[in-house]
């Protein structure tokens, strides 16, 4: 049984906890040392209440189940999982060099020799995961750590897929990942091969390592997706022919003709100074059953039939644009007529608070079919200064929603003010 960590002793079983390495939505990561061996580790401390509130029990279980399978020098190692009444403690390999993202951000593009070494290790780690039936599905520089010796450590398997996640057609169908790194076949939403989609993300990472910027980028997500679908990559002339050729073969928008992992390892540019990594020795990983003494989130069949429309995780990426509203105000015809932002408030509370806020702003509200029509007119006439907006709520999960504001007609400045006010007051903080 694990006792709650005391502030005075900062002890967790055989581990002595130290400074905080990072904090996130689910808890924090602390530096720790094994008092028996002196080994430095990172302890990921997850708040059970937060996990339940956000309905991410399955995601945490998946990450732990995945890490238990993986024992490779280029994958972050899970040592053990402990539990208390209020927390889950994941003891992980301590990687003291930071994220690949930070290395690129501070240095700019890396030399081909340094970049090739990192890419070789990335491919070794990803290839090993695939051999174990694990597909990461969120590969990006932020999820690739580099230790003090310059060795790659792949991390964050919260969105990974295992063999049981495949459908009868042998494909994955859950749309997930980060927009700039996601493969075109995932966006197509017709099922995808986890191995080829991970390879695409590796290709984007290689491009970023060698150039210092993204191959596909745009503030407008619709434009970004079109660029990814077309797969037209502008490769700098100063890269070697070998690097150019490999990038082109990986960033092939057709997954059926995209280069395979085996062929990457045989590529002449990749082969330079290449020493394949060997999987680590098997190690018993202890997982405390008390770690998951949680109430399970409500299953799909238990959902209230009158609840808001449920949409998938990747649509959330496209919808949570409240972080930068400016990108939506580019053209009247396309951008200004539909604004979306994410919120943790319940649908009932959202609609009630929207009504209250817009009423205070001088609008009047008409309710219909679970939507709000927000209007401001001058003597019933559509004159300058008039505005008509429909507000609707979509469900991402039982604790996360998206508010969509659609303009029927009206003053653009007034519409911006309304959207900014609502997103600032009700959006995810």
The answer to whether the annotation marks 49 as part of a ligand binding site is no
Give the separation between CA 121 and CA 150, rounded to whole angstroms.
10
Give the separation between CA 192 and CA 199, rounded to whole angstroms.
12
Give the separation between CA 103 and CA 406, rounded to whole angstroms.
41
Give the separation between CA 283 and CA 348, rounded to whole angstroms.
50
- Per annotation, catalytic residue among 124, 131, 138, 169: 138
345: number of Cβ within 10 Å: 20
Question: What radius of gyration, in Å, describes the C-alpha atoms of the chain?
Answer: 24
Whether 138 sits among the annotated catalytic residues: the reply is yes
Which has the closest alpha carbon to 293: 91, 48, 80, 89?
Answer: 48
Q: Are strands 400-410 and 15-23 parallel, antiparallel or unpaired?
A: unpaired
- Backbone φ and ψ for 285, nearest 5 degrees, come out as -105, 120
Give the separation between CA 87 and CA 66, rounded to whole angstroms.
20
Q: Which two tokens stand for residue 66?
A: 């995945």
Q: Which residues are catalytic?
A: 138
Positions at the binding site for ATP: 44
Positions at the binding site: 44
């Amino acid at each position: 049984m694990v006792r709650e960590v005391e502030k005075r002793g900062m002890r967790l079983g055989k581990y002595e906890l130290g400074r905080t390495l990072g904090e996130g939505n689910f808890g924090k990561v602390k530096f720790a040392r094994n008092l028996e061996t002196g080994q430095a580790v990172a302890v990921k401390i997850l708040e059970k209440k937060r996990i339940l509130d956000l309905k991410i029990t399955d995601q945490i279980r998946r990450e732990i189940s995945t890490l238990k399978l993986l024992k490779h020098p280029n994958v972050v190692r899970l040592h053990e999982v402990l539990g208390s009444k209020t927390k889950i403690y994941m003891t992980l390999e301590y990687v003291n060099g930071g994220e690949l993202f930070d290395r690129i951000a501070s240095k700019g593009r890396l030399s081909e020799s340094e970049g090739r070494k990192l890419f070789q290790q990335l491919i070794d780690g990803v290839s090993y995961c695939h051999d174990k039936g694990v597909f990461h599905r969120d590969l990006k520089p932020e999820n690739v750590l580099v230790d003090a010796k310059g060795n790659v450590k792949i991390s964050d398997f919260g969105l990974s897929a295992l063999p049981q996640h495949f459908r009868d057609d042998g494909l994955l169908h859950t749309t997930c990942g980060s927009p700039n790194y996601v493969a075109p076949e995932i966006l197509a939403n017709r099922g995808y091969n986890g191995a080829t989609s991970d390879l695409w993300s590796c290709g984007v990472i290689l491009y970023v390592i060698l150039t210092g910027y993204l191959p596909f980028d745009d503030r407008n997500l619709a434009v970004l997706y079109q660029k990814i679908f077309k797969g037209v990559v502008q490769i700098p002339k100063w890269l070697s022919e070998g690097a150019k050729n490999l990038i082109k073969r990986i960033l092939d928008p057709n997954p059926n003709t995209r280069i395979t992992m085996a062929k990457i390892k045989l590529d002449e540019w990749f082969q330079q100074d290449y020493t394949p990594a060997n999987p680590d020795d098997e190690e018993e990983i202890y997982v405390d059953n008390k770690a998951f003494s949680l109430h399970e989130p409500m299953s799909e069949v238990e959902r209230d039939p009158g609840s808001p429309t449920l949409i998938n995780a990747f649509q959330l990426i496209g919808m949570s644009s409240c972080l930068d509203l400016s990108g939506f105000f580019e053209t009247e015809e396309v951008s200004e007529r539909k604004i979306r932002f994410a919120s943790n408030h319940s649908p009932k509370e959202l609609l009630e608070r929207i009504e209250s806020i817009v009423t205070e702003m001088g609008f009047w509200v008409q309710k219909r079919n679970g939507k709000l029509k927000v209007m401001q007119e001058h003597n019933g006439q559509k004159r300058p200064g008039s505005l008509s907006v429909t507000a609707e709520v979509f469900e991402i999960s039982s604790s996360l929603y998206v508010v969509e504001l659609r303009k029927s007609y009206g003053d653009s400045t007034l519409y911006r003010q309304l959207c900014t006010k609502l997103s600032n007051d009700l959006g995810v903080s």
